[in-house]
Amino acid sequence: MKSTYKSVLTIAGSDSGGGAGIQADIKSISACGAYAASVITATTAQNTVGVSDIHAIPIAHLEMQLEAVLSDIEFGAIKIGMLHSCEVIKTVFEKLERYGLRNIVLDPVMVATSGDQLITNEAIACLKNYLPKASLITPNIQEAALLIGHDIDQQNFEATAIEIGQQYHTSVLLKGGHLETETASMVDMLFEYDSKVVHKIIHPRIDTSNTHGTGCSLSSGIATFLALGDSMEKAVRKACRFVNESIAAGKDKILGKGNGPINHFGL
């Protein structure tokens, strides 16, 4: 008896080291139980130590990639990673709108782990205009500060998640991994825009530097569980648990000379 794949499309950059970007997305989608297709916005020369070069995919080819997969495959969810220019942002969202895609999970990748801004102020301004088209955005603390225009700490953490959601008319998962805290647990804050309900998601803090690709994997996991039919809250909780378990499984693994990846399959 024939059945249809539950499919997720990831639109993001390629990490030649395999730890983040498209490669992490495909691993995460597969590990969480769906079929992964991809559209690559840029390629990078990258390893566990850092990024040495970025090559933007020409817009015409980006459009051809999007048209090829969207015209042929039915997707239950879309994950979007770093979109490095206004032209790329407009191209992606106009194509998704044309095909009426739903369950769009946007990881607004704007700041590196080092704290360096990865995309131009023009691209950030352009991205802000399209955030209401996303079902969920998943900023970390630094990215959220760029979106909302003020610093974020433990005292205003929950209020900021709500503030971002209200301002951009979308659900928000504000990730607390970079919050200054001495507790043994980490907190992420989910604000559901439609219901205006806030969910606090608590998970253990794991002492390791092997966290490369965490944000990519989390947003991909959420998109996967949405495609499989879970509610927003359930999809987020399941994806957070998956990533936390993957960090734990990879905390003592060695790959390369820098910060290693999470272990998606518990290998």
Q: What's the pLDDT at 117?
A: 66
Catalytic residue among 214, 224, 250, 260: 214
Q: Indicate the SS3 state at residue 186.
A: strand
Considering the chain, what is the average pLDDT of its residues? 94
Q: Is 214 a catalytic residue?
A: yes
Give the residue among 19, 74, 77, 30 at the shortest CA–CA distance from 231: 77
| pLDDT of residue 215 exceeding 80 | yes
Lookup result for tokens 């499919």? 7
Catalytic residue among 48, 211, 250, 260: 211
Strands 51-56 and 77-80: unpaired
Give the burial string for 110-136 (b: 16+ CB within 10 Å, else e).
bbeeeeeebbeeebbebbeebbeebbb
Catalytic residue among 18, 81, 213, 221: 213
Q: Which helix (H) or strand (E) holds 200?
A: strand 197-204
49-104 pLDDT per residue, tens: 988 888 999 999 999 999 999 999 999 999 999 899 999 999 999 999 999 999 99
Strands 35-46 and 7-15: parallel
- Domain 7-138+210-250 sits in CATH at 3.40.1190.20
Q: What's the pLDDT at 112?
A: 65
Catalytic residue among 17, 76, 215, 260: 215
92-126 pLDDT per residue, tens: 999 999 999 999 999 998 876 655 667 888 999 99
Q: Apex CA 195: angle with CA 131 and CA 224, to 5°? A: 60
Q: What's the pLDDT at 121?
A: 86
> Hey, where are the domains in the chain?
7-138+210-250
Catalytic residue among 216, 224, 250, 260: 216
39-50 pLDDT per residue, tens: 999 999 999 998
Q: Is 216 a catalytic residue?
A: yes
Token reading at 148: 């909302």
pLDDT band at residue 132 under the 50/70/90 scheme: very high
CB 258 within 8 A of CB 266: no
137-180 pLDDT per residue, tens: 999 999 999 999 999 999 999 999 999 999 999 999 999 976 76
Q: Is 213 a catalytic residue?
A: yes
Mean pLDDT value of segment 184-210:
94
